[in-house]
Amino acid sequence: MDEQLFFKKLDNLCTSREIFYFLSSLEVMSDTMASGALQRISEVEVDDNGLKNPGLLENEVFRALCFQFEFESSRLSNTGLLNALQALIKLRIDPQSTLMTSLLSESEKRLGRGQLTAENLCALGESLLELEGPSCATLEQIVNRMQERDIERWGPREIAVVYRMLEVIVREGKQCQNLLNRLNSVTLHKVSQLSPYFASVILNSLVVLHQTRAVLLVTALCKHSVKHVPYFTDHELVNVLEAFLYFEQKVQIFTEALERHVPKSICTMHPQTVSKVMQYCCKKMILSKPVFDAVAESFISSADKLTTDQIAAYIIPFGILNYLPASASSLFRKLETVLHTRLRHFQPHTLLNLLHSCVLIQRYPINFLPKIFSPYFLQKLQAQPPGLNRVVMSQLTQLFLTVTLECPFYEGPKLLSKYQVKACPTLHSSPDVHLFKRVKTGLLHLLKKRIYFASEVSTPYFYVVDIEIKLDEEGFVLPAAQLDEVHRRIALCVDGQNRFCAHSHNLLGEEAIKQRHLQLLGYEVVQIPFFEIESLKSTSKLADYLHKKIFPCTYGLSN
């Protein structure tokens, strides 16, 4: 049969049974046709879970094909040899079998003799990368052979395969930075040609190879990825998100592309991909309401199928970014049901992070706190990395403070004092230095003397107040050092951009809970957000703003 007609018919067959019936009707096949048949079998019979029907390996037509490749490997064309090798690896044929050993040996002989074309070298490299523990020496040989051809003329496939081979070579301790620099430079000019698959592969390789200096290439790839967001597979999208996180890229149009894609596709997305999307939003402090709303709905309908780590990945960002979706009541009802059923399956630190994130948005895990505060659970926390460091103890302290201040009806075990910390070392608690300095200058202009306010005041209750002003019973301002006759305390929260979600006026969860607790502790909380004062250029305008904000009735001030 003519090869063109053969492949046309082969492409229309959808099961191995149909393929075997078709092949048995032919008297003669070229090795290219036979290897094409193996490739088609691998396409229809292998999915993400492996081989659908292991019994096909015993089929007599399949065995006859394999026999031809095993005992006539030296007579095969390069295309027939390498296509067969790729297909058999995909079909999970034992790499130690005589069939595979024969094909690998013949491939390496031809590699050594320089008989393989650039396309052949790519196919061999891809095949070896699919095998566990590929020979670093062989991959190095393939890369060297490929360099003999003009690297400027490589296409996306060659570039992607070489990056993947260099991952293995560098992992073995070889120095390849000079080649990587050339490859990065060539790839920069080919970015617009890259398919979703090749863009994802190359970004992943740049992460693995720690190419933090390839700024132009990384930036170009990240921007190019935007148009591919609807077309990435789950695995490819995870690679791209990991690259955005590793290289600290923040591309607004990429977030917008996610906002369009995730709500439409979340029903078919793998939970691990959804988890990575939420991790990306959380690390970048991006409060994307379309994404978060879609994830909340997905959790309500599919939480029972999620692993404990995935449950935490879905929920924790809601607390950190201080967002309650429209479906919040259903969301947290579902979470409580899942926790009741699977509480003992959670790793200690995962459970603590999850429950702590809930209290940031005023969802109180009362039924589970006795477990958290129990000596047994605290010992488990201590035994597993990172142990009971200051961040972990701060979370425990804040949980305890929350039930003390916000849940007075809680009558369960208390957190022992040895597990409590006196100050909160949260990531975004330090005020913006420039903003803080401006506010203090404005206050000095308003109050005339520096003695009338104190900055970064430690309270007995875990929190540090940015600026504290004390008033007596008649509303007069007292010196900050005075301890007697203090009737009211004003806590100024000088909130720079670092305390808000990105491009938003939405406070982060850790700052929202702090301001809530300070109020419950008796402070009058006055928020001074960056966006209210960034347009106030003169000190007198700033002082006027502070006057109206802190002392709307001109308490205790004189000209």
The pLDDT value recorded for residue 103 is 95
Domain borders along the chain are: 1-115, 129-249, 264-363, 377-421, 433-557
Is residue 427's pLDDT more than 70?
Answer: no
324-345 exposure pattern, b = at least 16 Cβ within 10 A, e = fewer: bbeeeeebbebbbebbeeeeee
Q: What pLDDT is attached to residue 554?
A: 66
Asked if pLDDT for residue 431 goes beyond 90, the answer is: no
Q: Supply the pLDDT for residue 462.
A: 87
Q: Please give the pLDDT value at position 425.
A: 59
pLDDT at residue 437 is higher than 60: yes
194 and 226 in contact (C-beta within 8 Å)? no
pLDDT of residue 270: 96
**For residues 407-432, average pLDDT:** 83
Residue 151 pLDDT: 86
State residue 50's pLDDT score: 85
> CA 492, 427, 382, 271 torsion: positive or negative?
positive
Nearest to 244 by CA among 265, 233, 230, 258: 258
What was the pLDDT predicted at 426? 57
Beta bridge partners of 465: 457
3-class secondary structure, 455: strand
Quick one: pLDDT at residue 555? 42
| Model confidence at 305: pLDDT above 70 | yes
- C-beta neighbour count of 389 within 10 angstroms: 11
* Span 251-277, average pLDDT: 96
Residue-wise pLDDT for 344-364, tens only, equals 999 999 999 999 999 999 999
CB 92 within 8 A of CB 51: yes
Residue 556 confidence (pLDDT) above 60? no
* Percent share of the chain, pLDDT over 90: 82
Q: What is the mean pLDDT of residues 232-243?
A: 97
pLDDT score at 428? 61
E runs forming strands in 327-445 = none
Q: Which of 127-136, 233-242, 320-329 has the lowest mean pLDDT?
A: 127-136
